[in-house]
Every structure is written in C-alpha cells, then in structure tokens.
Amino acid sequence: MTHAPLRRSAALVGLLVLAGFVSAAPPGPAFPANVRVNDDAPGNPQFEVGQAVDPKNPRHIVAAWMNRVGHFQNIEAAYTKDGGLHWRGHPLKTPFNLSESDDPVLAVDSKGNFYLVHIAFNRFPNDPHFFLYKSTDGGANFSLIQNLPFIDLADKDWVMVDPVTDALYVFWTDFVIGESIFFIRSQDGGATFSDPIAISDPNFDAIAAVSSVGPGGEIYVSYFDFFQTILLTRSLDGGLTWEPRIVEGAMDFPTIRFTPGLPAHAVDRSDGPHRGRLYVVWPDARFDVSDILLRYSDDRGDTWSDPVRVNDDAPSATSAQVLPFVVVDDAGRVQVTYQSLLRSVFSPLVATFLSTSTDGGASFGPSIRISDGASAFFRTDFLGDYNQVVLGGGQLHAVWTDARLGDSDIFAQGVPLEDYDGDGILNDGDGDGQYADHRCTGGLAIHCDDNCPGVPNALQQDTDGDLVGDACDNCPMVPNTNQYDSDQDGIGDACDA
C-alpha cells in the first residue's frame, strides 16, 4: 500500500466512471492494501462503523456497522485476531423482527469482554428499542443482555468502559421535551444499571454523545445542538453529578450532500507534557466548504483554545472534509482521521486521511492518505455519521465506508504510528518529539524526519529542496512546501501558475 496525497487527472477521472475507484499514488514497494471487512454479496451498502481493541491483545479488534438489505437494516459485526488483515463476520440477531437497526458502538473491558449498543425500531407502527449486547468469546458471538430503558425515542447512543474500574457507561439522546443526553452506569458487566439521568445542558438541544475517561477518572461527554454550539459535560465523581461547559458557540455546520459528521473528542492519558488535555474536533464551514477544526482545554473543559485547522489542503471550494474522529496515543500525539470529498464532473470522490499533531494540538503535520485511493459515490450513498478509530499495538486502526467495489463497504487499515509508510524513515527521524519539523533533504536520510511520510521513499530524494520528497511532491521541480492544489488536478498550484 502506498499512502500519497491524492492526485487526479482527466484520464484518471475517466477511469473512475468505469472502475469506480482510483489509486493515484506514485510507485513504491508493496504494502498490505486496505482490507475489506464485510464479506456479504455485492449490492448491500454498509456504513457507520464502530470498533474496539482488546486490551489483552492489541491485534484482536471487533468492529460493527449498519447493513442495508432492501427496506431492512441490521447490524453486522466482525472480529480479527491478526491486526486487521483478516476478518470473520456475522449479523446480529435482532429480536422482535424490527425493520431498522442504527448507530452501533463498541467498547471492551479489561477481561476482553466486548459490549455493543445500538438502537432498533419499526417505523410503522413505531416500536423503538435500545439494545446492549455482550460477547465473551472475542466477538465471535454476541448475546443480547439488555433492552435498555429510555423515555421516548433513543438516538445516537454511545458506550464506554472505564479502563481502570471496568465500569460500563452508556449514553444516548432521548427525544422527550426537546432533546437531552441521558446516562446510565453498570458496575457488574451490564447485568444491572443505575437509573437514567439527564446530563446535558438543559438550555440546549443535545445529540451525538461521545465519551472518554480522563487520567483521574473524570468522565467527559461531548455533544452538540445540531447547528452551532458544541458542548462538553463532565463528571468528577463517577457519574453522580454533571457539569456542562460550552466548547464552541459559533460552529458553522456545513451544508453539503453527504452528512458532514459529528463532533468527537479524546483526552490525553499519556505520561507526556499534555496529560489530561482534552481535544474536540468537528466539521466547520467558516473557512471553507468544510474543514476539520480542533480546540483543546487544559482545565477539564473550563476554557478552550482558539480553533486550529486540522486538514492541510488548499482552502478552496473543490473539497470538503467530513466525519472526523480523534484519539491520543501513548506518546501524547493527537491523531485525527477524516474523509475528504473531492468534487469532480462525475461524482464526489471520497478518500480517508490522517493528520497528526505532536505539539498538543497547536499545529498539525502533513496529512497522509490512508485509503488506497478515492472511491466514487454515484448514488445517494450514506457515509454514516462517524467512523470510530482505535489504537493498539503501536498502530492506529482506521475504518471507513468505501465504494471502490461499486457499493458501500467497510474497509480498514492499520497505520504504524512511528513510520506511517513503513519505509524505514521514521516520521520523527531526528527524535525531537516533533513530526515533520526537520524533514530530510539534500540527500540526507538519517537523523531527519520523513519528507514524504505517507509514501515509501527510503532515499528521501527532494529535487527542488522544498522539504517534500519527490515521491509525493505534486510539483517536484518547483519549491512548494505547502503542496496546495486548489483545482485538485494533481498538479500543485506552483506548477499551475
């Protein structure tokens, strides 16, 4: 697999009409290609995927997604024990013959038990349910253990396990009077739960809970009000009481064909200098059609930094960044995945990217593409509202919806955190803790940072001396370190002029 800044030409776009997929990476050594997770027959779209990694075995991952068959929609799950190279899947058995199942999210406890929540209902007549499943055999089988309580209609659920206490936390939006985030807790592996309590700010509608646990046991839940306000509610006493805070009051929610995704957040549990720092990411149209923005907080959400643009493409109306997710690795590096919608004369092209910050979210290094290429979505495909990312065994495990085979499938990729492209030149080759601040150039290939971190290039050749290796430089004879390509034709603006 080669991970390159995405490049397109008229000829390649023409091929897309025939093949539905393009890989425009320069030549490089053979790497494991993206892996298709679902194994069903063509024609049934899959989307909106969650996953969790076994803390006892980082190569053991379980994923779950929505699967549409005709007018019915169910949840499918799969597991891998070799780090994502091979998957075995099966549909969940939904009781009551319900016609639609949505929003699968996964968590795992210290014993390797996996938990899966999702909502399910019939539309006519309305018959909503909120299910909790448990797998004690590594994801090979899931058993329904709870039809969870809710008040009116549950939506956008989330589940999390406290990594220290193994307490199970479940969140959802309940459409009562307005919309509120509710919370329940289990301390016996899901056998029993506390009574539901509303935890979101009562002055705002609230949806799309994403949760985390801080290094001191703090529980954080981010959500938003559908349009312009992103909030975070925290509990410092294990979920007994909750305090809401505003993260962003001027979100410009993108209006594009595909859902732009939802806010997400993560907390730094590493032993690094930013331990305890909170990071919130979201799609936003204030600077462009849709960018991924980030704010951080060092005081448990009381105050927040100014927003930082995560994606590094040229500000333009030719692309939109959507579906962000954020995790913080054991070294304190902030890892943000997102999908990029590249406009073409035929249909949107969708590729999946990773951006990394090694300075606590103050800035981000060059983005790398982790999908093999970009896939064309010809129909009214649904990308989902989120792609849950996990860390394990020195790798970031990304999952996403991908239409390279003609309909929406779930694809996955494990990305080595120290050397994204596996060419032996480390992302932080000079070992100063910063990514891409001293890139290789002038024939150097040691004691410097990979100048093309998404494309294997062991020689680190850089003809124009702009600190971007020839293997990924979109204008290799003219210096253009920012690699801006406003018209997305695969040729940098510096060469278009």
Q: Report how far apart, in Å, the C-alpha atoms of 366 and of each of 100, 357, 463 are.
A: 40, 9, 19
Instruction: Report yes or no on 258 lying in a domain.
Output: yes
Tell me the CATH number at 132.
Answer: 2.120.10.10
Nearest to 85 by CA among 128, 33, 138: 33
pTM: 0.91
* Residue-level pLDDT at 41: 78
Instruction: Specify the pLDDT at position 380.
Output: 52
In a domain, 203, yes or no: yes
The pair of three-digit structure tokens given for residue 55, joined into one six-digit string: 């803390």
Residue 424 placed within a domain:
no
Is 41 contained in some domain?
Answer: yes
Any idea which residue has 């909170």 for tokens? 278
Secondary structure (3-state) at 494: helix
Would you say 105 and 148 are in contact if contact means Cβ atoms under 8 Å apart? no
437 belongs to a structural domain: no
Task: Name the nearest CA neighbour of 20 among 302, 375, 281, 475.
Answer: 375
Sign of the alpha-carbon torsion through 446, 449, 452, 454: positive
Instruction: Give the three-state DSSP class for 15.
Output: helix
163 part of a folded domain? yes
Q: Which two tokens stand for residue 96?
A: 């009551």
Angle at 172 between CA 171 and CA 173, to 5 degrees: 145
pLDDT of 348: 72
Per DSSP, which regions of 195-342 are E strands? 197-198, 207-213, 219-224, 230-235, 243-248, 264-267, 278-284, 291-297, 308-309, 319-328, 334-342
Residues 6 or more apart whose Cβ sits within 8 Å of residue 183: 169, 170, 171, 196, 197, 198, 199, 221, 239, 242
Which residue's structure tokens are 């306000």? 229
- Planar angle of CA 127, 173, 198, nearest 5 degrees: 120
CA-based R_g, the chain, Å: 22
How many domains does the chain fold into? 1
Q: In this structure, what token pair is assigned to residue 442?
A: 């002038």
Residue-by-residue DSSP string for 162-194: -TTT--EEEEEEEEESEEEEEEEEESSTTSS-P
Q: How far apart, in whole angstroms, are the C-alpha atoms of residue 58 and residue 414?
A: 11
How many Cα atoms occupy the beta-carbon half-sphere of 294 within 13 Å? Answer: 29
- Pair 148, 184: CB distance under 8 Å: yes
Contact criterion met (CB below 8 Å) for 286 and 305: no
Reported as type and span, the H/E element at residue 12 is: helix 10-19
pLDDT by residue, tens only, the chain of 497 residues? 333 333 223 222 332 332 333 333 333 333 468 999 999 878 888 999 999 999 999 999 999 999 988 778 899 999 999 999 999 999 998 888 888 889 999 999 999 999 999 999 887 767 888 999 999 999 999 999 999 887 777 889 999 999 999 999 999 998 876 689 999 999 999 999 999 999 999 999 999 999 999 999 999 999 999 878 999 999 999 999 999 999 999 999 888 766 788 999 999 999 999 999 999 999 999 998 899 999 999 999 999 999 999 999 988 767 889 999 999 999 999 999 999 987 654 567 889 999 999 999 999 999 999 999 888 775 556 788 999 999 999 999 999 999 888 888 999 999 999 999 999 999 999 999 999 999 999 888 999 999 999 999 999 999 999 999 999 999 999 999 999 988 777 899 999 87
Residue 447 lies in a domain: no
pLDDT computed for residue 128 by the predictor: 86
Which 3 state secondary structure label does DSSP give 265? strand
| Residue that has been written with the tokens 């030409």 in this structure | 9
Residue 161: give the domain boundaries: 10-416
Print burial letters for 384-423: b (CB count within 10 Å at least 16), e (below 16). Answer: bbbbbbbbbeebbbbbbbbbbeebbbbbbbbbebebbbbb
Could you give the CA distance from residue 297 to residue 306 in angstroms, rounded to a whole number?
10
Does residue 496 belong to any structural domain of this protein?
no
